[in-house]
Amino acid sequence: MMVVAVAVCMGAMLAGVYASFYLDSAPAPTIVLILSAIFVAAFLRRLRLNAQAATRIAASEG
């Protein structure tokens, strides 16, 4: 899990610095926006997986 966290942060850092160069913005806020987008994507994925699991459990019980 620690390796995944480091990889995600390194990827966000590189993408943020790269994007900030082309967007002509500050690197730190761009990195934070990319990390926020990753968090929202992971949260929505978990919600979808939980809903699918609940549907499967309800179908198997009833």
32 touches 40 (CB < 8 A) = no
6 touches 14 (CB < 8 A) = no
The residue with tokens 């390796």 is 3
Where does the chain have alpha helices with state H? 2-23, 27-61
Both structure tokens of 61? 């019980």
Task: Note the pLDDT tens digit of each residue in 6-36.
Answer: 999 999 999 999 999 999 999 999 999 999 9
Whether 62 has a pLDDT exceeding 70, the answer reads no
**pLDDT number for residue 60:** 87
pTM score of the predicted model = 0.83
Query: Which residue ranges make up each domain of the chain?
Result: 2-61
From 36, 35, 41, 39, select the one nearest 14 (Cα to Cα).
35
